[in-house]
Amino acid sequence: MQIQYLEIVTPDVDGVCATYALVHGVTFSEPEAGLGNARTASLPDGGKIGVRAPMNEMEEPVVRPYLLVDDAEAAAKAAEESGGEIAHPPMELPGHGTFAIFIQGGIHHGVWQR
C-alpha cells in the first residue's frame, strides 16, 4: 500500500502548513483549485500532502489518506461490498487522477488512481 494523497481538512490551513514546513522541511504551494484549494507539498514517494479548509460549514476537520489503486471504481465497489459506506463516488480530478472516499468503522478512507 502506498499513500498517494494525504488530505488534511482544518480551519487553520496556514498554521498547519507552517508547522509541517518547519518540522519536515517541506514547501507548500499556493492553493490549488482542482484540489479544493488545498495547499500541497510533495511526498518522497511521488504522492502529495494537501491542507485545505472545510468546503462548507458541515465539513469537519479530518485527516484522510488516499491509498494508490489501479482502479478507483473497482476499489470503491470492493470497499462497499465489504461494509464501507461510499461518501464520495469515484470522480476524476483533471490533471490529478480519480478518487473516491468511503467511511468504515467511523474512519474516512480514500482511494486514488493516477
pLDDT of residue 99: 98
Residue 3 burial (CB < 10 Å; 0-12/13-18/19+)? Answer: middle
Task: Enumerate the domain spans of the chain.
Answer: 3-113
Best CA proximity match to 17, nearest among 53, 45, 46, 47: 53
What is the separation, in whole angstroms, between the first and last Cα of the chain?
A: 14
What pTM was computed for the model?
Answer: 0.93
Q: What is the pLDDT of residues 69-92, one digit of tens each?
A: 999 999 999 999 999 999 999 999
The CATH homologous superfamily to which domain 3-113 belongs is: 2,3-Dihydroxybiphenyl 1,2-Dioxygenase, domain 1 (3.10.180.10)
